[in-house]
């Protein structure tokens, strides 16, 4: 199809709508409906089960903010795991940190990787890097089988529906803690406070039971519901707000800055209330 408008209903009563120049691919994979389209506003865009996942124009926000906040918090991240994230954007940012010797991507749906490589090359381009190991596998199972292995784990999942439902469970966070080394850090995307306040509260409560340092930070993602996205960070030892200034090496970004590293944790009052 060509030249039509696509609407994502972000809630029952509200959504975004955008002009699609042409559909690039549509497929029901083993896990979800995958659609890739060329949009007039955002460049090529990936949808899973009808929800915007990433676009060429605004992808940098999500990928930078998932990756750089925990990686600059950890004093020497060498081994990193990305759960989900088959588009490769988080991996691309992870590799900007010279300390990282190995970045493992565990994506359940190989089709996401395949079509991201084809239609989102600027995002997926580092998946072939020699420091990267790509596994098409169940992230929940991978976590369950890992112990004392990773410095940083990033959960780049869809919303808690379909294949991602296990990735928002207390058992998963306990598994992450076990898979992390003794000073490990994890971060997960945890949706938005306008429409999913309950989810944020639940995740904060669950993560706090497992990680002594649990904090929420935000970023503006214009193609995601409400434009205000949250990330939950759980850490065993290192506080993201107590990072030595000299740790912030130069890095090429479009959203993240070392000043924003801290400011992103300063929450609007109604969001802060969800964490208490």
156 is catalytic: yes
The residue written with tokens 């503006």 in the block is 220
The closest of 226, 219, 185, 32 to 115, measured between CA atoms, is: 32
The residue written with tokens 């707000």 in the block is 241
Which position among 18, 95, 144, 174 is part of the footprint of its own copies (CB under 8 A)?
Answer: 18
**Residue 107 marked as a ligand binder:** yes
Closer CB to its own copies, 157 or 218, in the complex: 218
Of 38-46, 98-106, 125-133, 156-164, which part binds its own copies (CB under 8 A)? 38-46
Give CA–CA dist 32/254, Å, rounded.
31
Contact between 199 and its own copies per CB under 8 A: no
Tell me the two tokens of residue 245: 């200034």
Contact between 46 and its own copies per CB under 8 A: no
Contact between 12 and its own copies per CB under 8 A: yes
DSSP state of 32: S
Closer CB to its own copies, 141 or 263, in the complex: 263
The closest of 153, 133, 36, 5 to 83, measured between CA atoms, is: 153
Of 79-87, 116-124, 145-153, 216-224, which part binds its own copies (CB under 8 A)? 216-224
Which position among 23, 169, 226, 237 is part of the footprint of its own copies (CB under 8 A)?
Answer: 226
- State in angstroms the smallest separation of the CB of 18 from its own copies: 5
Contact between 220 and its own copies per CB under 8 A: yes
Contact between 254 and its own copies per CB under 8 A: yes
Q: Confirm if 46 and 31 have CB atoms less than 8 A apart.
A: no
Give CA–CA dist 10/208, Å, rounded.
28
Query: Which member of 151, 156, 191, 206 is catalytic?
Result: 156
- State in angstroms the smallest separation of the CB of 135 from its own copies: 32
What distance separates the 2 farthest-apart alpha carbons in the chain? 53
Contact between 242 and its own copies per CB under 8 A: no
Could you count the other beta carbons within 10 Å of the beta carbon of residue 62? 26
Query: 60: phi > 0 → left, psi -120 to 50 → alpha, else beta; which?
Result: alpha
Binding site for its own copies (CB under 8 A): 7, 11-19, 39-42, 58, 61, 194, 218-222, 225-228, 253-257, 259-260, 262-263, 266-270, 272
């Amino acid at each position: 199809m060509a030249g039509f408008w696509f609407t994502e209903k972000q809630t029952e009563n509200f959504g975004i709508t955008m002009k699609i120049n042409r559909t690039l691919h549509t497929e029901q994979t083993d896990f979800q409906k995958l659609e890739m389209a060329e949009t007039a506003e955002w460049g090529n865009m990936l949808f899973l089960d009808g929800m915007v996942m990433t676009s060429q124009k605004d992808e940098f926000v999500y990928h930078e903010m998932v990756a750089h906040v925990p990686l600059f918090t950890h004093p020497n991240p060498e081994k990193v795991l990305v759960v989900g994230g088959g588009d490769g954007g988080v991996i691309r940012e992870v590799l900007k940190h010279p300390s990282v010797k190995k970045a493992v991507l565990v994506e359940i749906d190989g089709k996401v990787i395949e079509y991201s490589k084809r239609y989102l090359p600027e995002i997926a381009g580092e998946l072939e890097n020699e420091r990267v190991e790509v596994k098409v596998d169940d992230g929940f199972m991978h976590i369950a089988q890992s112990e004392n292995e990773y410095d940083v784990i990033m959960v780049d999942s869809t919303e808690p529906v379909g294949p991602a439902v296990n990735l928002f469970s207390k058992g998963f966070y306990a598994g992450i803690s076990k898979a992390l080394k003794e000073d490990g850090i994890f971060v997960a995307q945890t949706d938005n406070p306008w429409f999913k306040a309950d989810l944020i509260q639940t995740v904060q409560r669950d993560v706090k039971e497992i990680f002594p340092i649990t904090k929420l930070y935000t970023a503006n993602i214009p193609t995601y519901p409400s434009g205000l996205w949250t990330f939950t960070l759980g850490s065993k030892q290192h506080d993201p707000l107590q990072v030595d200034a000299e740790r912030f090496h130069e890095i090429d970004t479009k959203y993240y800055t070392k000043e924003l590293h801290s400011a992103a944790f300063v929450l609007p009052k109604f969001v802060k209330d969800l964490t208490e």
